[in-house]
Amino acid sequence: MPTITPITIDIFCSVIDNYGDIGVCFRLAKELSTDSAIVTLYVDDLNAFKAINPTIDANYTSLQKYNDITIKYWDEEPNDYEPSLVIIEAFGCKIGEKYTSKFTMHNLWINLEYLSAETWVEECHKLPSLQNNCLNKYFFFPGFTAKTGGLNFEKWLLDVSYQQAKEYVFKYLSLDPKRINDFIALIFTYETTSLFPLIEAILRKHHNAILLLPDSRSTKYLLEDNKDIVLKLQEQYPNSVWHKFSMVPQDVFNYILKASDFNIVRGEDSITQAIICGKPFLWHIYKQEENAHIDKLLAFCDMYLKDVTSNENKEILKLSLLSLNDESYLKDLSNNTIFDKFMIKYEQICMITKEQSTTLIKFHNLSSNLLLFIKEFLKQNN
Ligand code: TRH
C-alpha cells in the first residue's frame, strides 16, 4: 500500500484587535488538523490567544502544543524557519522576506482573506498574484457560495443537538436547570444604543428570557456604562436573567452559540458559527472606515435573503440588521418597533435561518475546500 504523506501547513496570524483574527485562525487550524493536516500556528499575541484558549501559556515563547497543533510565538526574526508545504498568511498579514526567501515553487503560498458576501469575491477566489520573489501567492476567500472557500466551521458541532448543547451550557454556566426551556439570547456585540430596544423587544415577548453576557465590550456597556437603564429593565422584567460570565474556551463558546435561541453577535468568527447553528441571529458587524462595513452588510443581506419569499420577512430581517448597526434607523418612527416585529416573526425567521444553514453547510467548510485546493496544486506542481 502506498504511504500517504500528510500535508504540512503553516498558518501565520497577526492579532490586529479583539479576538476575531486568532479566533478564525485557531478554528481553521483545529479543523485542518482534524482533517489530518499537520499544522503549525504562528501567533504574534499569545495573550489574545489565551483568552479563547486557556491552555496557552502567554509567557512561554517557545514551542507549545494544543492537541496535534504546534503553536509558535511569531517572532519577527526567525532563526531556523523551514517552511511547511503550504503557508497561509491570514488576512493579508505580511510575514516578511526572512520567511518568504525560504519558499520554492513547490510551496503553496496563500493569503486567506476576510469573509465577505460581496459578488466580486467569487471572481478573485483562488487567483494568483505574482510576488517579488517570482512566486505566486493565491487569494483564498471564505464565502457563502459554491464558488468560494465556504464558511469556517468545525464539523463536530453539526453533530451536537440543540438540546445537548443546552444541557452542556446550563451545567457549564451553573444556570438553574428548572429554566432550561426559557428563551436564551446571547449578546456579544460592540457598544450601541440599539441594544436597548432590542433587549426590550426580547423581554416583551419572553419575560423569563435568559440573556447570556460574556465578559466583553457589550457587557461592560450594558452592566457598567448604562447600569441605570439596565436596572429599570430588570425591575420591569424581574424574571429575566442577566447572566454575566468570564470568557470561555472557544469550544465551549460553540456550545453557547448552539444552545441559544437568538445569537446577537459581532465579528466574522462568531457570526459564521451563528449562521451555521441555524437559529435567528443579528450581526453587529466590525466597523470599517468610510462605512465599508455597511456595504458588506448590505451585500450579506442580498445574498442571505435572496430566496426568502415573504417580502415582509425579508424587510424585517434587513431593517433589523441595519438598525443594530446604525442607531439612526431607529429614529425613523416607522422603524422604531422593528425589533418587536422581529420577535413577532421569530418562528418564521427560524425557518429561514434553519434552511440557510442547511444550504451553506452543503458548500463544505473552509478547511475541506482549502485541502481540495492544496491537492489540486500538488497534482500540478509536484
Ligand atoms: O473579537 P471580534 O470582534 O473580532 C473582530 C472581527 O473578527 C473582525 O472581522 C476583525 O477584523 C477584528 O476582530 C480584528 O469578533 P469575532 O470575530 O466574533 O471573534 C471572537 C472570537 O472570540 C471567536 O473566535 C469566539 C471567541 N470567544 C471565545 O472563544 N470565548 C468567549 O467567551 C467569547 C465571548 C468569544
pLDDT at 2: 57
Q: Which atom of ligand 1 approaches the CA of 190 most closely?
A: 3
Centroid of ligand 1 to alpha carbon of 25 (angstroms):
11
Q: Which atom of ligand 1 approaches the CA of 15 most closely?
A: 14
Could you tell me which CATH class the domain 155-362 is placed in? alpha beta
pLDDT at 118: 96
The 10s digit of each residue's pLDDT in 85-143 is 999 999 999 999 989 999 999 999 999 999 999 999 999 999 999 999 999 999 999 99
Q: Which residue has the cell 456550545?
A: 255
Residues framing ligand 1 (Cβ under 6 A): 16-21, 23, 52, 188, 214, 216, 247-248, 250, 253, 266-270, 286
Residue bearing the CA closest to ligand 1, atom 23: 23
DSSP letters along 273-325, please? HHHHHTS-EEE-PPP-GGGHHHHHHHHHHHHHHTT---HHHHHHHHHHHHHHH
Residue bearing the CA closest to ligand 1, atom 30: 248
**Domain range summary for the chain, segments of one domain joined by +:** 8-152+364-377, 155-362
Give all strands of the β-sheet with 210-214 in edge-to-edge order: 241-245, 210-214, 184-188, 262-265, 281-283
Q: How far is the first Cα of the chain from the last one, in angstroms, to the nearest whole number?
A: 20
**Phi-psi group of 372: left, alpha or beta (phi > 0 → left; psi -120 to 50 → alpha; rest → beta):** alpha
**Residue 268 catalytic?**
yes
Cα–Cα distance for residue pair 286/263, rounded to 1 Å: 16
Q: Which atom of ligand 1 approaches the CA of 188 most closely?
A: 34
Residues 6+ apart with CB under 8 A from 29: 11, 39, 41, 69
Please identify which of the residues 21, 45, 113, 154 carries the catalytic annotation: 21
Q: Which residue has the cell 520554492?
A: 104
Please give the model's pTM, rounded to 2 decimal places.
0.97
Residue 361 contacts residue 158 (beta carbons within 8 Å) = yes
Q: Which residues of the chain have pLDDT under 50?
A: none
Cα–Cα distance for residue pair 146/257, rounded to 1 Å: 25
Give all strands of the β-sheet with 128-130 in edge-to-edge order: 64-66, 69-73, 38-43, 8-13, 86-90, 108-112, 136-140, 128-130
Residue bearing the CA closest to ligand 1, atom 5: 20
DSSP letters along 208-268, please? T-EEEEESSHHHHIIIIITHHHHHHHHHHSTT-EEEEE----HHHHHHHHHH-SEEEE-SH
Give the H or E element holding residue 10: strand 8-13
C-alpha distance from residue 216 to each of 57, 250, 269 (Å): 21, 14, 15
Residues 6+ apart with CB under 8 A from 92: 111, 113
**Residue 31 catalytic?**
no
The 10s digit of each residue's pLDDT in 5-34 is 889 999 999 999 899 999 999 999 999 999
Percentage of residues in the chain with pLDDT exceeding 70?
A: 99
